[in-house]
Structure 1
């Protein structure tokens, strides 16, 4: 045998880290290849509960009162292995829930507490999440007891809400319904930095102009939830920090009042931990040793608990009584002067000058000892920024207004990524409809759908008109936070009616035809738009020789301007749509990568993306009637011609500049079609080509049509939570 044989050499036969001898992944070897991994996240094979498990049904058997009672007991049941500050975990669980929900960002709807993703890397090991692992372990006995009836995602957020109730706050409400994921969201973009807490300059065109932060990011540095508590890049300057706080919270869907209320309420309970050196801590959970059992940040040179805990590096409490909801925070912030000092861990913090003994909080372990009050640079920003100061002065004069503002902002923070109210479950769901929930009235169902379809068919609208309008209405859906979609027909309202990608002139013309038909038929405009798209698909299939009925479920409602928060809908505007072969402008990111992002948000798989693209091309649904990618001589027919001609080796492909190509006859050189990068990636990428070849086969013409209809219906119904509840 060869001396390098893996058996004789005593080597492990598994090539760790990749599928090559060097242990490298495909993307290491070919970094410019299109990586489809984002479409494979949360494959059902990773779910240990199996395909038949229904969390909504499991919730119906949950004893919610008993669960809350167990959580209330836990709040004051200090554990020897991780003792509670002042014998209370209210600060701990408020922080765990806050840091789960606080990763949400408005730009793409990703992050947030809706999936339990704090259990996995990278979030479980972010520096800003230090010791949230202890909070989740404290919750484990309760999770074990109630099992599948409560998800980790729901339990984490509920624990934070109960913590505030135990502290004395009247909360706004709570909704169950968050379903767990089972492996990391490794393809979510959290920033380009290669080290934790790297200076934030790389995230901005100018760090002095927070609005220039790279989209879709919200946090100012890699590994932080919001802003650096010591100041911009760790340098205290409350006015500069105020600008970052304002922008960061705005990118997390909060206005100035909500931002101020959350900061006040978040710092009314609990404390900062920095009574020691971070250099003495073990690795974060994801890099820990086996004997640590998934716990991180363990002190290697001392107790590392109680008064010796190290988390942020700042050391001290914000209020005199950090385990209760009261109004001390603003009294102390506004009535004392504050000076910069260094914590025992070497972090910048603001400490009260000449603090009266009665305002000194007790030591977390020994009530006979007293400690100083501290504020972070973000706290001082509220005091020194003129606009924030007006808000906190009002809250100081009217504590009841602060209570209400924080309760509502906390509810929004912890529910923003759950989607519409129809997804909420439980006895504590607030009756009030909130504008950020994107409310939609119930739609009619008693009309004659077939008669409505006949009226649309007689309207003179083209297949392309009907399909493109329905697609544009539905494509705004984001599975990240369950926003957008065809339900509500907001495509006819500002801002969507004016988006470039919706072709405003064409859209207005099509709506002028469909709206009176809907009114006369007793149907919603939302249903009518979708039904028109379905009709277009059926007509296109018939032109290709296939009779097929596209499934349709009535019941969509029509939202009003008053039910639409215009500013928050701006972020849903498509900047590219590979399915309609459109780019608003050239971006650093390639068109095919932008298409993957849209596909993942729509909840589609790579095969579904493939079949939809090929079908949309031959139907003629391109933006502006472009002929790029329309590889057929019978445009308007739902044929598999796109794939047949893409894979035909009688053709050759030639770049002609600006991301466009010509498809030429290999023998004559005659130009047959034009294409974009998005079109050709289905032939150039080995995985996508394997799907394209399936749909190009002679025996799969009918399969192509049926698969297209199934994928189309999935998009049209993506926001119909009433169909899956």
Structure 2
């Protein structure tokens, strides 16, 4: 029976815009979409408001969890049979592909949130059949409940898989907290089709470094490179160049890249025993009765040797359930010729390999199968740098094992932030430079005496506020890097960044560092406290008395604890809060403000109040007057919003992409602005917030909200406090 009336209109009322294309932004695609600031709103979180994952972990029986995961690895299910009766290779791939979406450019992706459970990652072609791996782990997740996040369980499964196959890992940390919805506003590329030609994201495909930032994969739907070759055309030498670029965007050097490739392919196999045309839709596109299990394979018939994932078919080693040097024995012990898998994918097979040296069929122990190598594997042999590293690994197997163990640990923990976020009995004691280590700072000094010394230092409020802001604004919640803790603003590259106004910064540091030493405080604490001193002065000048909260205990990192090269990605190219932009970009300044606000963990309202406050405080980069809509510069007032919403004024564009606020009657120019300033009046949502703060009864609310948002920025990286 049709659910429509005779005139074609559905008689059932369903006014909610529930379709994926039913968004107001479809009408105005160029409008500023604020959804990214609220994509993990508390209303999406099913946990109680007072739930703390760190507290829940205190009651977790770690050894029991590990034991249950190991048992799962060896319990082959009829509905998804294990290769050789062991899920080790599948769980390694699940963990690898969860972590492998991480990118250094903006810290997004990675495994720390369990985001592979949601679209688009759960349906990327590269992640085919990993939905089965998660379902296999469900009984473990169900048993331990809230004390074991999906994010931790997925990573633990990969670690335990290696342990179960004879490899001693470097360690493991619990502490990853799940999200409860897709990170739908993360930019994974502009393409509208899976595996679109690589040219779409390179300026010059022959120059891998021209890959669009911040992307770290060569195609939409892959985590790294195409295993069949660039654009699916085999050429190991060319593939090697793209491997080097994509892995560097994962924060991996050449040795780590080679170790991960060789160690990752030492176990398990690829699957391509069917034509892709015969395979069903991915999880997000499959019918409701499939219950989110995608990539239906009608020809699998309960056999592991009939599975399809990548289309490439075969094992890399003779004993795929054993971590050994077999990968090198195959790759360097034989010549390899280009062929195709049963699914039609490009791959390589060994020349003249005797039957006795071939691996067993994953389902039938009486049958031997031809092994394979991908174009990415052949790159390890063809590229002179990777070849040299592999020769070193082969000459010293223990060195290879250590290199892989460290690289695997880095891959699976890179986006967890500092070691204070690590929990469990297997956390390594060694501080690793990529963890951005920070010594514990003192907290037993006299804060009031330090505060008084700062107030008498002769530094201006603007100098104090800007230095604190510049120190803290590097934080990004995507991978929990940056921030004020550690006071790395004292070192290169940060001390020389244009956005930090090096002359002003060095002046302020030359005054604050001796004060910190004299009072037994860290420089990091002193910088943050100094910002609070400047704010309190500005609040007092505005006729109010509100204290800026301060929590001591930050430490000072040493220069040798700072991986300078990896900190380059934290350089502000734009900072709408201080009306700074290094140069003109294809992306609008207001869109870059939005991106920065999201990395800082701000809501739209918090972003609004901070911008308005920073303008009237006079904290603009290079003392620019754009957006300083007040005659009381230096006082924390709501004047920015009052004048922005004043209809006795009108705004007019001028030649240098700035704007003038003119009196409607006299034509007198009152103020100037950038598009970042004006978006708070033009965007309907931001204007609603601006109007709240412009109201006559909300001056005190404005100041309190500003202080709360400021304190949030200053404490973003205080994981030692958040864990308690």
Q: Which range, TM-score by smaller chain?
A: over 0.9
Contact map agreement 2:79 2:302 (CA 8 A) in 1: no
Superposition TM-score, scaled by structure 1 size: 0.98
Matched with 1:410 is: 408
Tell me, in whole angstroms, the C-alpha distance in 1 between the residues paired with 2:452 and 2:565: 38
Give the aligned partner of residue 720 of structure 2: 722
Q: 1:8: how far off?
A: 10
Structure 1: distance between partners of 2:77 and 2:282:
21
8 Å Cα contact 1:16-1:23 kept in structure 2: no
Tell me how far apart the structure 1 counterparts of residues 82 and 287 of structure 2 sit (CA, whole Å).
Answer: 25
SS in structure 2 of the partner of residue 286 of structure 1: coil
Deviation at 1:119, TM superposition (A): 0.3
Is 2:383 the partner of 1:359?
Answer: no
Whether contact under 8 Å (2:119, 2:284) holds in the other structure is yes
Shift of 1:301: 4.8
Q: Does 1:186 align with 2:184?
A: yes
Q: Secondary structure at the match of 1:349?
A: strand
Relative to the length of structure 2, the TM-score reads 0.98
1:26-79 CA-to-partner distances (Å, cap 9, x unmatched) read 110011111000001111111111211111111111111111111111111111
Report the 3-state secondary structure (helix = DSSP H, G, I; strand = E; otherwise coil) of the residue aligned with 1:374.
Answer: coil
- What pairs up with 1:212-223 in 2 under 5 angstroms? 212-223=210-221
Superposed CA RMSD in Å reads: 1.4
**2:292 alignment partner in structure 1:** 294
1: CA distance, partners of 2:53 / 2:652 = 51
Indicate the residue corresponding to 2:479 in structure 1. Answer: 481
Measure the CA separation in 1 of the matches of 2:540 and 2:523: 26
Give me the whole-angstrom Cα distance separating, in 2, the residues matched to 1:173 and 1:71. Answer: 16
Cα drift, residue 12 of structure 1? 3.5
1:141 aligned partner: 139
Residue among 324, 336, 339 paired with 2:337: 339
Distance (whole Å) between structure 2 residues aligned to residue 225 and residue 176 of structure 1: 23
Q: Distance in 1 between matches of 2:170 and 2:350?
A: 33
Query: 1:25 Cα shift?
Result: 1.6
CA distance in 2, matches of 1:311, 1:23: 29
In structure 1, the residue matched to 2:650 is 652
Secondary structure, counterpart of 1:189 in structure 2: coil
SS of equivalent to 2:570: coil
Asked if the contact 1:18–1:26 (Cα under 8 Å) also holds between the matched residues in 2, the reply is no
Structure 2 residue 37 is the aligned partner of structure 1 residue 39: yes
Match of 1:224 among 208, 222, 232: 222
Is residue 219–residue 248 contact of structure 1 (8 Å, CA) maintained in 2?
A: yes
Partner of 1:695: 693
Specify the alignment match of 2:369 in structure 1.
371
Shift of 1:16: 5.9
Native 8 Å contact 1:161 1:171 kept in 2: yes
Which secondary structure state, in structure 2, belongs to the residue aligned with residue 350 of structure 1?
A: strand
Distance 1:15 1:242 in 2: 53
The structure 2 residue matched to 1:575, chosen from 567, 573, 582, is 573
For residues 470-517 of structure 1, the C-alpha deviation after alignment (integer angstroms, 9 at most, x for no partner) is 000000001000000000000010110011110111111111111111
- Answering whether residue 73 of structure 2 is matched by residue 72 of structure 1, we say no
Does structure 2 retain, via aligned residues, the 8 Å contact 1:6–1:12?
Answer: no
1:394-543 aligned within 5 A: 394-543=392-541
Q: Secondary structure at the match of 2:284?
A: helix
d(CA) in 1 for partners of 2:5, 2:672: 51
What is the rounded CA distance, in whole Å, between the counterparts of 1:707 and 1:111 in structure 2?
31
Identify if the C-alpha distance between structure 1 residues 6 and 188 changes in structure 2 by more than 3 Å, giving closer, same or farther.
Answer: farther
Equivalent pair of 1:304/1:310 in contact (CA under 8 Å)? no
Q: Distance in 1 between matches of 2:7 and 2:402?
A: 69
- 1:14 match: 14
User: Does the CA contact (< 8 Å) of 2:469 and 2:531 recur in 1?
Assistant: yes
Q: 1-side partners of 2:197 and 2:376: how far apart?
A: 17
**2:279: which partner in 1?**
281
Looking at structure 1, the residues matched to 618 and 419 of structure 2 have their Cα atoms a distance apart, in angstroms, of: 37
105, 108, 113: which one aligns with 1:107: 105
* Matches of 1:23 and 1:238, distance apart in 2: 41
Q: Is the 8 A contact 2:101 2:109 kept in 1?
A: yes
Cα deviation 1:76-105 (Å, max 9, x = unaligned) = 111111010000110010000000000000
* Residue aligned with 1:652, SS: strand
- Indicate the SS of the match to 2:654: strand
TM-fit CA distance, 1:13: 2.0
Q: CA deviation at 1:723?
A: 1.0
Corresponding pairs, count: 720
1:359-394 Cα offsets, whole Å, 9 max, x none, are 200001101100111000010000000011110000
Cα distance in 2 between the residues matched to 1:306 and 1:688: 54
Q: 1:13 to 1:658 in 2, by over 3 A?
A: farther
Q: 2: CA distance between counterparts of 1:644 and 1:156?
A: 51
Q: Which residue of 2 aligns with 1:170?
A: 168
Bigger mean CA offset, 301-310 vs 667-676? 301-310
Q: Deviations over 1:404-445 (max 9, x none)?
A: 000000000000000000110011000000000000011111
Give distance in 2, aligned partners of 1:6 and 1:112: 51
Structure-1 separation of matches of 2:8 and 2:388: 76
Give the aligned partner of residue 201 of structure 1: 199
Say which of 661, 666, 688 aligns to 1:663.
661
SS in 1 for 2:651: strand
The residue matched to 1:571 in structure 2 has which SS?
A: helix
What is the aligned partner in structure 1 of residue 563 from structure 2?
565
d(CA) in 1 for partners of 2:247, 2:310: 20
Gaps of 5+ in 1: none
User: For residue 87 of structure 2, what is the aligned residue in structure 1?
Assistant: 89
Give the distance between the partners of 1:342 and 1:195, measured in 2 at CA: 24
Shift of 1:306: 1.1
- 3-state SS of paired residue (1:320): coil
The correspondence of residues 629-644 of structure 1 with structure 2, limited to 5 A, is 629-644=627-642
Distance 2:327 2:10 in 1: 64
CA distance in 1, matches of 2:394, 2:265: 15
More displaced, 70-79 or 417-426?
Answer: 70-79
